[in-house]
Amino acid sequence: MYALDPPEKAWKHFSALFDLTPLRMFKNSGSIENYTWIAGTSVFAQVSLDGNLHYHTDDHLSRSGDLLFVHRYLTGGADGRSGDVPYMMRPGSIIFHDYGRPFEGVQMPSTIQSVFLRHDLVGYDPNRMPPQLVFDQSSSVGAALFSTFDTLMDAFLGGATTLEIARERHLASLVNAALPEPDARPSSQMQIQQYIESALPNPALRETDIQSTFELSRAQLFERFSAYGGFSQYVSTRRVFHTLLGIEKSPDRLAHVSEIATDWGFRSEDAFRDAVQGLYQTDLETMFAR
Q: Give the start-end residues of each E strand in 76-189.
A: 78-82, 85-89, 93-98, 103-107, 110-118, 132-136
What are the residues whose beta carbons fall under 8 Å from the beta carbon of 187, sequence distance 6 or more? none
- pLDDT (0 to 100) of residue 8: 67
- pLDDT (0 to 100) of residue 253: 81
Mean pLDDT across the stretch 65-79? 96
What one-character-per-residue DSSP string does 24-61 give? --TT--SSEEEEEEEETTEEEEEEEE--EEEEE-GGGH
The model's confidence at residue 15, banded by pLDDT at 50, 70 and 90, is confident
Distance of CA 97 to the CA centre of its chain: 8
- 184 — phi, psi (to 5°)? -65, 150
User: What dihedral angle (degrees, nearest 10) is formed by the CA atoms of 144, 146, 149, 153?
Assistant: -140
Closest by CA position to 118, among listed 45, 173, 67: 67
Q: What is the CATH number of domain 188-287?
A: 1.10.10.60
What is the distance between the alpha carbons of residues 278 and 283, in angstroms, rounded to a whole number? 9
- pLDDT (0 to 100) of residue 12: 72
Mean pLDDT across the stretch 24-34? 91
- Tell me: the pLDDT tens digits for 214-273? 999 999 999 999 989 999 999 999 999 999 999 999 888 888 999 999 999 999 999 999
pTM: 0.93
Q: How many CA atoms lie within 13 A of 51 on its CB side?
A: 18
- pLDDT (0 to 100) of residue 3: 65
Mean pLDDT across the stretch 29-43? 88
Residue 1 pLDDT more than 70?
Answer: no
For the four alpha carbons of 56, 61, 62 and 66, in that order, the dihedral sign comes to positive
- pLDDT (0 to 100) of residue 7: 66
Query: Mean pLDDT, the chain, as a whole number?
Result: 92
- pLDDT (0 to 100) of residue 92: 95
Mean pLDDT across the stretch 16-45? 90
- pLDDT (0 to 100) of residue 175: 97
Residue 281 pLDDT more than 80?
Answer: yes
How many residues are recorded in the chain? Answer: 290
Superfamily of domain 2-178: Jelly Rolls (2.60.120.10)
- Tell me: the pLDDT tens digits for 219-234? 999 999 998 999 999 9
- pLDDT (0 to 100) of residue 5: 67
- pLDDT (0 to 100) of residue 232: 95
What one-character-per-residue DSSP string does 184-227 give? PPPPHHHHHHHHHHHHTT-TT--HHHHHHHHT--HHHHHHHHGG
- Tell me: the pLDDT tens digits for 99-143? 999 999 999 999 999 999 999 999 999 999 999 999 999 999 999
- pLDDT (0 to 100) of residue 31: 86
Kind plus residue range of the DSSP H or E element containing 4? strand 2-5
The model's confidence at residue 163, banded by pLDDT at 50, 70 and 90, is confident
Query: Domain extents for the chain?
Result: 2-178, 188-287
- Domain 2-178 and domain 188-287 have a common topology: no
Question: Over pLDDT 90: what percentage of the chain?
Answer: 80
Kind plus residue range of the DSSP H or E element containing 243? helix 231-249
CB 19 within 8 A of CB 58: no
